[in-house]
Amino acid sequence: MVVSKAPAAYGCLTGRWIWEFSDNKCLAEKSKEGKMSKKTTIYRNNITLTYYGSFLEILKKQKRSFNNIPNRPRLAVLLFFTILILCMNVTTNLNAQQLQVSKLISLTQGQSAHEYFSSPQWSPDGKKIALTKMYYKGIYIMDPDSSVIRTITDDEGAGFRFSWSPDSAEIVYRAKKFEKDKPIHILRSAEVATGEITDLTAELGWVSLPCYSRDNRVIYAHTGKLKQRRKISDKRTVRRTFNMAADVADNVFANAILEIPAQDKVIVEDDEGIKVMDRTGQNRKTIFKHGPNDFAVDAKPSPDGQKVMYFNNVGPIGHLYIYDLDTEKITDLGQGYFGQWLPDGRIIYCITTNDEYVYTGSEIYLINADGTGKMKITETPDQIEIHLSVSPDGKSIVYRDDKSGKIYLGILDEIKK
C-alpha cells in the first residue's frame, strides 16, 4: 500500500488528500462551493479516509486565540496546528492488509496417541494455551513452545466456556455432575501454577457460566441475581483468596456472563436472547431476541467495546452477526462458525460443511466487521479447522483439526504485495 498526499502546504490548507492502494486511487477534496461536510468518510478498497475539514476552516475557529498570542512566533503555532490535524483528523483503516496462515505446527499427537483435545484458548499474556477434552471434560494447560501438557482439573463440564483471569494466573469454570439424574453445578477457580482448586459456590441446581473481569472479579448469576466475588490478599496465610459473594443487580437470569473490557458493562445470554447492561444492572439493552427459528449464542465483545459478535442458527446454517452498540445496526457476515476478534477489529472464523452429523470440511476466513474484505486464509483440504482462538498479539491462532484430532498452531503473516 502506498499512501501519499498533495504537497504539504496545499494538502494542509485545502484538505485535499490522495490515497493509493494497488492500482486504484481515491481523491477527496473540497467542492468548488466549499460545501464539504464537517466530517466526510470515503471508502474504497478497504481504505478509509475521514475528513474533518481543512486546516483553514479549523484555523478560522481559532482566530481569536491565534491573534492573542503576539509573543509567540506564529510559524510555530501554525506548525503545531498542522501536526494536530495530521495526527487527529485524518484516520486510516489498515484493514486493507491481507493475511495468510504461513506456517502450521502440530501441538498434539491427536488420534494416534488418543489425545482428543479441543477448544484451545490462549491466555491473556500469550504464554499458555488452555485445552479441554471431548464433552468438555477437564482443563489442561499447554506451553506452546514445548507442547508439554499438564492437568489442571478433570471436572466434568469444566472446559465449556471457561474464563482466564486477566493476569493469566487462574481459570474460573463451571463444573457439572449428576445426582439421581439431576444436574448439579458448582463454580470453581483453578490456580494455573499449582492446580489448587477453590470452590466459589456451593453445589447448586443451576448457576450461570462465570467470567473474570479486568479488575479480578468473578461475575456470575444465580437465582436472578448478578453476583461477584473479588480476589483479595489474605495477610495471615500470605495467599490470595476470594471475598464473600456480593449481589450487584436483580432480575438477571443468565446462562452466561461476559464482560465488555473497554466499558463497565456485561453481556448477558439468557433464555430470551442476548442483552447488554451496566455491571450494576442498569441501562439494559436487548441486542437479540430468540425467535422460533433463531437462537443466538457465543457473544463476544470487540476489542474497543463498541460491537458485539454473536452466532445465530439461520435454519440449518449458522451465521455470524455484528451488533453496533452505538448505532444499533446489525450486520450479517454470512455463514460462519467459531468467530474470533483480531486486536485490530477484524474477525477470523470458519466456514464449514457437514453431513448433518459430523463436519466434512472447513476453511478459515478473514473479514472486516462491516462485512467487507472477506478472504480465505487457509487452503487445507486435508484438515477440518474448528474451535479457533487468537493470540493476544494477533500474530498466531490455534485450532483443532477435527479430522486428525490434533491441535495446531498457525502463524498469521501479512501477504506481501
Range name among 161-170, 348-357, 388-397 with the lowest pLDDT average: 348-357
Comparison of pLDDT for 83 and 122, the residue scoring more: 122
Question: What is the band of 98 on the pLDDT scale with cuts at 50, 70, 90?
Answer: confident
Range name among 68-77, 196-205, 233-242, 408-417 with the lowest pLDDT average: 68-77
Cα gap 158→141, rounded to integer Å: 13
Question: What are the residue ranges spanned by the domains of the chain?
Answer: 2-95
Cα gap 282→228, rounded to integer Å: 16
pLDDT value of position 203: 95
Cα gap 130→188, rounded to integer Å: 16
HSE value, Cβ hemisphere, 13 Å, CA-based, for 377: 27
For the beta sheet containing 17-21, the strands, ordered from the edge strand earlier in sequence to the opposite edge, are: 2-5, 17-21, 24-28
Tens digits of residue pLDDT in 5-36: 333 332 333 333 333 333 333 333 333 334 33
pLDDT value of position 193: 94
Cα gap 263→309, rounded to integer Å: 16
Q: How many residues does the chain have?
A: 417
Of the candidates 364, 339, 361, 342, which has an alpha carbon nearest to the alpha carbon of residue 352?
361
Question: What is the band of 261 on the pLDDT scale with cuts at 50, 70, 90?
Answer: confident
Of the candidates 195, 394, 206, 174, which has an alpha carbon nearest to the alpha carbon of residue 303?
394
Cα gap 327→247, rounded to integer Å: 31
Dmax of the chain from CA atoms?
Answer: 86
pLDDT value of position 239: 58
Comparison of pLDDT for 55 and 263, the residue scoring more: 263
Residue 256 confidence (pLDDT) above 70: yes
Question: What is the band of 52 on the pLDDT scale with cuts at 50, 70, 90?
Answer: very low
Q: How high is the mean pLDDT of the chain?
A: 80
Signed CA dihedral, 246, 252, 255, 258: sign only: negative
Tens digits of residue pLDDT in 357-370: 899 999 999 999 99
